[in-house]
Amino acid sequence: MPVTSPLLADSAWNDAAIKLGNSFGAIAGFLGILLVVFFAAGRATGRFGRPLAIAVFLGPAVLLLLVGLVAPLIRTVYLSFRNDDSTKFLGAKNYTWAFTNDSIHQVLLNTLLWLVVAPLAATGLGLALALLVDRMRWQSLYKSLIFMPMAISLVGASIIWKFVYDTRSSAQAQIGLLSQLAVWLGWKNPPNWILSHPLNDFLLMVVMVWVQTGFAMVVLSAAIKAIPDEVTEAARLDGAGGLRLFWYVTVPMIRTTLVVVLTTVMIVTLKAFDIVRTMTGGNFGTQVLANEMYSQSFVQFNVGRGSALAVILFLAVLPLVAYNIVQLRKERATR
Amino acid sequence: MSSQTSDQPVLSAARPLPAAKAVRKSFSSPLGSLFVIVVTILWTIPTFGLLATSLRPQQDVAVSGWWNVFAHPNLLLSNYHTVLFDGGYGVQGGLMPYLVNSLAISVPATVFPLVLASMAAYALAWVRFRGSDTLFFLIFALQVVPLQMALIPLLQLFSGGAHLGGVTVIPKFDLSGTYAPVWLAHTMFALPLATFLLHNFISQLPRDLMEAAVVDGATHFKIFRSIVLPLCTPALASFAIFQFLWVWNDLLVALTFAGGTPEVAPMTVRLAQLSGSFGGHWEVLTAGAFLSIIIPLLVFFGLQRYFVRGLLAGSVKG
């Protein structure tokens, strides 16, 4: 390519303009339709006014949820009892496969490990930081920098960490930070981190903790600030201080928020497949349910097995959200 | 660090410590501050290493670690030129079309769910009807549905329509090669959380204000437009930023509904492909990765004060 040529051909700019034009056109059309509907429905009075308002306000959301989440939920359950191209009924075969196949055992075990380690580490670290950072100078700088990975895609984060974990043979200079640190500490021949099972599982979890800690910190820090002064004051008059104050006053007061943070991180962890997919592709014993489900359905084209794994994923998250709803109901009852 | 704690005894002698501070005080020590600083550095280094690597010439990246830039600064932008416009190393074409796709996907996929969710949240909070609480909890509970679960049926719906015993309920749309399936999927998947968060905010608007408007004869549509939307701007803005980041950073939905073509696929999809084919060429891979995070980072640092405050307004109660 000659140096003098423009960065992009005219056609590429045209192309970009058309694409973005279409997008903004779609937004304008959407808002236009809403405006017309609002105007028309707003003229209705009398006893039709209220039901019409409910239908207009809730209709689109409910319809989309039915088509996009409820119907697929039912359909996936149905597909999970059928064979690879959904032509034959298999009974529970896909499920027995999932729970008896050795390679899937590894996947389920890994998923469980992720579900316990990553959320607890991220929430615990976030809580510690929330308690410590507020009294420091430059606190907003620290908060921003720790929160920053939240803005990075899991794909981007995976590439960043793949680079940290990069290993060269001992004859060459290391370019991955972790290997170089190992060398500086006197380890002549650092292992290929990504290939060493079960260490690689935890190295992948580090990425998730790196991304989620800032989120936990910011939300918990706000919750701690929101504890009414009188509560801690009363406890202090009763002679509580320091760690006791933390365990018996702070933690119970922010319990709801702690649960919400833990659940949110768990759901992200359970559903996220980007990290495993980008860093190891699920090889070297690092496969998790979310990625295996994708491989079964879209790489090996076994829709039945993929659907069964999706249902297992769904059943795994269900208790978490059920618990959250119970908490929420309590909170609303006291409001 | 120590200047923060030095005035503390004076303060506590004058009057009792404010509550939250008392707890924090017992945690604030030079050791605690050191911990925060160490974590901050650890959290920043990987991203900094990515930026540094993307600016180094290929021959440097191949033989020495990025920390050598401090000793031998030798920086250039040609890696970005390669990644954006040329490709190379067995890769056809640059990232530019994918960058445009990311933008063309993210903006509508932020606006659609935001508008629909705020409408639903208003109805659930202020147009109370029988079963509105149940409906609210059902919508919240739909967060459990893993995207993975909805992908296959939704894909089949888009390509084949919906039929019940020979009767076509929803005709098939030919949406392949357009952004529409990606927009639709993101809108559907964002609705439960968006409705939940916005409901928390909207339901805390002053009751008097709403009742006064009803007494004045305002319809729900008028109340929504002239009271709810203006008062909710902080919450809407904060959720918009979050949703934008999520959509921009999404891989799964894009991979399933947009495929991998330069016509519709966003940055994340291309980057995941490149991480395979660029393999050891860290100088181009890191440049690509940095390009994909620069827009979310700009959005994040530019607007973070608004979105942290707005997002927390409804979700953390005192």
Query: pLDDT of B83-114, one tens digit each?
Result: 888 776 766 778 888 889 999 999 999 999 99
| Cβ <8 Å between B40 and A145 | yes
Q: Quick check: B98 and B269 in contact, CB under 8 A?
A: yes
Residues of A in Cβ contact (< 8 Å) with B47: 148-149, 152, 160
Q: d(Cα B313, Cα A244) in Å, to the nearest integer? A: 29
β partners of residue B162: B170
ipTM of the complex: 0.81
pLDDT at A117: 93
Residues of B in Cβ contact (< 8 Å) with A162: 275
Mean pLDDT by 10 residues, chain B (318 residues): 38 48 61 89 91 85 81 81 76 82 93 94 88 86 78 80 68 75 91 87 85 86 88 84 87 83 86 75 85 84 67 47
**Which of A142, A120, A136 has its CA nearest to residue A216?**
A120
pLDDT at B153: 82
Q: Which of B132, B144, B249 would best serve as a mutation to test chain A binding (most A beta carbons within 10 A)?
A: B144
Residue A108 clears pLDDT 70, i.e. is over it: yes
Task: Sort A102 into a burial class: Cβ within 10 Å, 0-12 / 13-18 / 19+.
Answer: exposed
Query: pLDDT of B31-83, one tens digit each?
Result: 888 899 999 999 999 999 888 888 888 888 877 888 888 877 778 888 888 88
Residue A172 clears pLDDT 70, i.e. is over it: yes
Q: Dump the DSSP string for A129-190.
A: HHHHHTTSTTHHHHHHHHHGGGGS-HHHHHHHHHHHT----TTSPP-SHHHHHHHHTT-SS-
Residue A260: pLDDT band by 50, 70, 90 thresholds?
Answer: confident
Q: Where are the alpha helices (DSSP H) in B142-281?
A: 147-160, 180-202, 207-215, 220-223, 229-231, 233-249, 252-258, 267-277
Residues of B in Cβ contact (< 8 Å) with A325: 137, 140-141
Q: Quick check: A119 and A269 in contact, CB under 8 A?
A: yes
Rounding to the nearest 10 degrees, give the CA dihedral for residues A104, A110, A115, A121.
Answer: 180
Query: pLDDT of A323-333, one tens digit each?
Result: 877 877 777 66
Q: Which of B221, B267, B281 would best serve as a mutation to test chain A binding (most A beta carbons within 10 A)?
A: B221
pLDDT at B90: 65
pLDDT at B75: 81
Q: Write the Ramachandran bin of B146: left for phi over 0, alpha for psi from -120 to 50, otherwise beta.
A: beta
Q: Examine residue B146 and say whether the peptide bond preceding it is cis (omega within 30 degrees of 0).
A: no
Q: Which residues contact B155 (CB under 8 A, 6 or more apart)?
A: B256, B257
pLDDT at A121: 96
User: Which one is predicted more confidently, A16 or A9?
Assistant: A16
Q: Is A244 on the interface with B (CB under 8 A)?
A: no
Residue A185, φ and ψ in degrees, nearest 5: -80, 5
Residue with tokens 């954006």: B84
Query: pLDDT of A138-169, one tens digit each?
Result: 888 888 889 888 888 888 888 889 888 988 87
Q: d(Cα B200, Cα B4) in Å, to the nearest integer? A: 36
Q: Is B137 on the interface with A (CB under 8 A)?
A: yes
pLDDT at A2: 44
Closest to B296 (Cβ–Cβ): which among A60, A152, A317? A152
Q: Is A264 on the interface with B (CB under 8 A)?
A: no
pLDDT at B25: 59
